[in-house]
């Protein structure tokens, strides 16, 4: 069973629909205790870094996630803001603490070309950067995905990044650390490439 964490922001149903189209059984929940019954965990994310952390902390998700993912080893996939929250801290409207699972921070994108707009919205190709990538397994070339974001994750260890895109500067598009995965883009909105990536997460074996 794939548990999708609902913290009250965004259209989480579209992510569930994408997973279900691949044959997965999903459950959407706002209760940390439901993580115990999950085989895999997905955190779809939209909105601001601080508000998302506030909502997760208000009902006890960070401690429950740490137990189920870091201690018990359940695969985790963070989408968009759900990836950014893996960082130690974020700087959207001040400095705020993240989950801290992957060293690094989240900062506003600063493109070298002033003509490039922020937020970054639209399709971008992603260059896989690791031969051992789970998320890009079986994909050819530089697949394209759909992005909507103004901030990006800057990991302390560049080896954690498994895919990079360009928006006037290098932007980390995916991270992979053991059984913890994240995508800056929205795979549920990314057609065939997005479904292929979700399938790779579903088929991943620790």
Is 186 labeled as catalytic in the residue annotation?
yes
Measured on CA atoms in the order 95, 167, 130, 82, is the torsion positive or negative?
Answer: positive
Q: CB of 167 within 8 A of CB of 6?
A: no
**Nearest to residue 150, comparing CAs of 31, 30, 20, 47?**
47
Cα 191 to Cα 146: distance, rounded to the nearest angstrom? 9
Is 188 labeled as catalytic in the residue annotation?
yes
Other C-beta atoms within 10 Å of 194: how many?
20
The active-site residue, picked from 68, 80, 96, 176, is 80
The active-site residue, picked from 33, 149, 186, 206, is 186
Is 176 labeled as catalytic in the residue annotation?
no
Residues known to be catalytic: 80, 186, 188
């Amino acid at each position: 069973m794939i548990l999708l964490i609902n913290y009250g922001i965004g259209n989480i149903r579209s992510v569930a629909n994408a997973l279900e189209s691949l044959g997965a059984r999903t459950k959407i929940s706002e209760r940390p205790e439901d993580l115990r019954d999950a085989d895999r965990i997905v955190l779809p994310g939209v909105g601001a870094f601080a508000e998302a952390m506030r909502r997760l902390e208000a009902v006890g998700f960070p401690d429950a996630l740490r137990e189920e993912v870091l201690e018990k080893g359940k695969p985790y996939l963070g989408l968009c803001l759900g990836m950014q929250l893996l960082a130690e801290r974020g700087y959207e409207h001040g400095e705020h603490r993240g989950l801290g699972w992957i060293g690094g921070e989240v900062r506003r994108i600063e493109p070298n070309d002033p003509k490039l707009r922020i937020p970054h919205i639209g399709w971008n190709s992603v260059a896989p950067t690791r031969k051992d990538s789970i998320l890009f397994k079986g994909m050819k070339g530089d697949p394209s995905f759909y992005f909507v974001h103004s901030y990006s994750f800057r990991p302390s260890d560049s080896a954690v990044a498994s895919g990079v895109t360009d928006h006037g500067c290098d932007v980390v598009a995916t991270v992979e650390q053991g059984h913890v995965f994240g995508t800056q883009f929205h795979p549920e909105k990314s057609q065939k490439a997005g479904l292929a990536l979700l399938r790779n997460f579903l088929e991943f074996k620790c």
